[in-house]
Chain A
Amino acid sequence: MQIKLWINEKEFTDDVSPDIALLEWLRSKGFYSIKRGCETSNCGLCTVLLDGKPVLSCSTLAIRANGKHVTTLEGVEKDALEIGGFMADEGSEQCGFCSPGFIMNVIAMKNELTNPTEEEIKKYLVGNLCRCTGYVGQLRAIKNYLQSKKEV
Chain B
Amino acid sequence: MFTIDQYVIAESLEEAYELNQSRRNVILGGIMWLKMGKKRIGKAIDLSALDLHKIEEDEDRFYIGAMCTLRDLEVHSGLKKYFNGIIEKSVESIVGVQFRNGATVGGTVFSRFGFSDVLTVLLALDTYVELYKGGIVSLSQFMDMPRDNDILVKIIIKKDNRKVAYVNQRKSVSDLPILACAVSNTGNTWNIVLGSRPAKAQLISLELSENLHEEQINEIINVVKDKIVLGSNDRGSKEYRSILADVFIRRNIEEILLGGNHAD
Contacts and interface: CB of A to CB of B under 8 A. Distances in A.
Nearest to A19: B4
Contacts of B35: 21, 41, 59
A29 B262 CA distance: 50
Interface of A: 1, 17-19, 21, 39-42, 44, 47, 50, 53-56, 59-61, 63-64, 105, 108-109, 123-128
Given A41-B32, A44-B96, A1 B101 contact: no
A19 B3 contact: yes
The list of the 6 closest CB pairs from A to B, nearest first, reads A127-B96, A18-B7, A19-B4, A18-B4, A54-B98, A56-B98
Main secondary structure of the interface of A (DSSP, over half): mixed
Interface in B65-123: 71, 92, 95-99, 101-102
A61 B31 contact: yes
15 contacts: A18-B7, A19-B41, A21-B1, A21-B35, A44-B98, A53-B71, A54-B98, A55-B98, A56-B99, A60-B31, A61-B28, A109-B97, A126-B174, A127-B95, A127-B99
A60 B5 CA distance: 17
Nearest to A56: B98
Given A18-B6, A42-B99, A55-B102, 11 more contacts: A1-B7, A21-B35, A41-B95, A42-B174, A53-B71, A54-B98, A56-B98, A56-B102, A59-B30, A59-B99, A128-B96
Contacts of A54: 97-98, 101
B48 interface: yes
Contacts of B150: none
Contacts of B3: 19
A42 B32 CA distance: 10
A89 B5 CA distance: 49
B41 to A, nearest CB: 8
A64 B29 CA distance: 11
A64 B46 contact: yes
Contacts of B173: 126
Contacts of B41: 19
Contacts of B92: 123
A2 to B, nearest CB: 11
Contact of A105 (B30, B98, B102): B98
B227 to A, nearest CB: 34
Contacts of B7: 1, 18, 61, 63
B196 to A, nearest CB: 17
Interface string B19-63: 000000000101110011000010010101000000000000000
Contacts of A61: 7, 28, 31
B2 interface: yes
Nearest to A122: B173
A18 B44 contact: yes
A109 to B, nearest CB: 8
A60 B46 CA distance: 13
Given A18-B7, A59-B102, A61-B31, A105 B1 contact: no
B97 A124 contact: yes
B182 to A, nearest CB: 20
A60 B102 contact: yes
A47 B99 CA distance: 10
Identify which of B30, B44, B96, B98 gathers the most chain A CB atoms within 10 Å of its CB: B98
A13 B99 CA distance: 26
